Every structure is written in C-alpha cells, then in structure tokens.
C-alpha cells in the first residue's frame, strides 16, 4: 500500500511560471513532511520540510502548503528556472520515511 501518493508524474512548465506538485497521505501519525530534489545520477537532496503544526513554509522560491485536515501537502516553485528541472519527491515520516513516486519537472527556457 502506497503510504504517500504524489501527482503529477511529470510536469512541464515555462520559465518564470509556477510549478505545483501535490502529495496526500493517510497515516495521521506522520509528523514530518520533507521534499527532496534529485538530479540524474545523484542521491536525493533535501529541499524544504514542514511539520504539521504550521500550514505554510517558504524558503526563497520554494513553498510548502500543508492541509492537516485534508492530509495533503504541496510544493510550489515560484519563478521556475531551467535549473529546477529535476525529479521531486515528497515524503512523510513517522518511525520511517515513506517517499512518493516522484514528479519529473521540466522547465522550458
């Protein structure tokens, strides 16, 4: 059973646009929700993370929106750049980390 569901599978955005990736979870015991960025041939790298006691967290062009009642959270990338082209994974953590299936983002110049 997939603990964390992620959509879309792939996303194409024009340079300067907003990229939005969504995740949903079922287990209310999860208490840490990170987003990872992965480039080909590299391991995932932490981008931004949120805990369920806040509804939004912003770091530069990256924002997490968190809806505890709906058990959903999303990543917004503002002013998307070609260098943002990568695969993005959401994750949820209780005792273990559970990752989504990933979103391949392509930002067109």
Partner 1 sequence: GAGVSQTPSNKVTEKGKYVELRCDPISGHTALYWYRQSLGQGPEFLIYFQGTGAADDSGLPNDRFFAVRPEGSVSTLKIQRTERGDSAVYLCASSSGAGYNEQFFGPGTRLTVL
Q: Which CB, 9 or 69, lies closer to partner 1?
A: 9
Going by their DSSP bridges, the two strands 56-59 and 103-108 should be labelled as: unpaired
In whole angstroms, how close is the CB of 87 to partner 1 at the nearest point? 9
Query: Rule CB under 8 A: is residue 62 a binding residue for partner 1?
Result: no
Would you give the binding string for partner 1 spanning residues 24-43, x where CB under 8 A is met? Answer: --------x-x-x----xxx
Query: Rule CB under 8 A: is residue 54 a binding residue for partner 1?
Result: no
| Angstrom distances, CA of residue 98 to CA of 28, 39, 70, 88 | 13, 19, 18, 14
According to CB under 8 A, which one of 77, 89, 92, 105 is a site residue for partner 1? Answer: 89
Whether omega before 8 lies within 30 degrees of 0, making that bond cis, reads yes
In the numeric block, the tokens 């960025």 are attached to 37
Query: Rule CB under 8 A: is residue 75 a binding residue for partner 1?
Result: no
According to CB under 8 A, which one of 12, 45, 54, 78 is a site residue for partner 1? Answer: 45
Judge residue 45's burial from the number of C-beta atoms within 10 Å of its C-beta, 0-12 exposed, 13-18 middle, 19 or more buried: exposed
């Amino acid at each position: 059973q997939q603990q964390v569901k992620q959509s879309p599978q792939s996303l194409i955005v024009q340079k300067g646009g907003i990229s939005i990736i969504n995740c949903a979870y079922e287990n209310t015991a999860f208490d840490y929700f990170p987003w990872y960025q992965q480039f080909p041939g590299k391991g995932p790298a932490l981008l931004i993370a949120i805990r369920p006691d806040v509804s939004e967290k912003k770091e530069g062009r990256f924002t997490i929106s968190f809806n505890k009642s709906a058990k959903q959270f999303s990543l917004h990338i503002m002013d998307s750049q070609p260098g943002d082209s990568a695969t993005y994974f959401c994750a949820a953590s209780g005792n273990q980390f559970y990752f989504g299936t990933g979103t391949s983002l392509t930002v067109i110049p």
